[in-house]
Amino acid sequence: MRKLWSSFRTFIAKIPRISWLVLGTVVAVGPVVRYVTTAAIDPAMAASILGGFATITVAALTVALGRYVERMKQIEAEQHQRRAEMHSEFIAEFVRGLGLDQAPSVRKPVGEAQLAQTMANFTASALAWSTPVVLQAVRQWRKDSNQLSTEAQSDPAFVFGSVERLIRAIRVELGHSDKGLKDYDLVGLFVNDLDSFLTKRGIKT
């Protein structure tokens, strides 16, 4: 019984407030319409009453709906701005932390502790602001990072691929399309000789 009640409360919480407003209006209008149509009132007067009531109701709903949509747009704009700032700061620190702003041959990543702190800070912000697509990408990165200390030293392409996936997820969250982008195109923006490096490794770009 408790589980059923919990599920019901979850369902109710997902219903937009505007839906409750419409439902409340319908419930309130019902008795008025029933009274006017059943009471001994002149048909012309009844039509006038219903028409006036309908006009007021529609006007109120229009104003309420307009304010609701405007508020949702404002919230969405604020979230987008916050995410853009958060992601810009993170990508700059993340790329620098992995040494991706340097050529692969001389790449010198920062210490693991600093990189872990960068990820921890980003994860905390992502929990508050990001959508599932980024949260899942962060989780995948953490799984990949367990191999970074070993595979990255012998196969830097592993690092590039992992970073590429994370950055693509961030772009999706910000509303960008990756159509026309090939593998490693985003990482290639930070590593000048990436194409030649990948070619030597037998990786086509």
Q: What is the pLDDT of residues 28-46, one digit of tens each?
A: 566 655 655 566 566 676 6
Rg (CA), the chain: 28
Instruction: Give dist(CA 60, CA 1) in Å, integer.
Output: 39
Q: Give residue 11's pLDDT.
A: 45
pLDDT at position 159 is 75
Quote the CA–CA distance of 53 and 113 in Å, as a whole number.
Answer: 67
Average pLDDT over all residues of the chain: 74
pLDDT, tens only, 97-143: 766 656 656 566 566 677 778 888 898 989 988 999 999 998 888 88
Per the confidence metrics, is the pTM higher than 0.75? no
Domain boundaries defined on the chain: 2-73, 78-200
For the residues 54-75, what does the mean pLDDT come to? Answer: 80
Closest CA to 175 of 95, 96, 87: 87
* Residue 61 scores a pLDDT above 50: yes
From residue 97, how far is each of 103, 108, 185 by CA, in Å?
14, 9, 19
- Spatial contact of 145 and 159, defined as CB atoms under 8 Å apart: no
What's residue 188's pLDDT? 81
**pLDDT of 152 strictly over 60:** no
Q: For 64-71, what is the mean pLDDT?
A: 82
Highest mean pLDDT among 48-52, 87-91, 148-152: 87-91
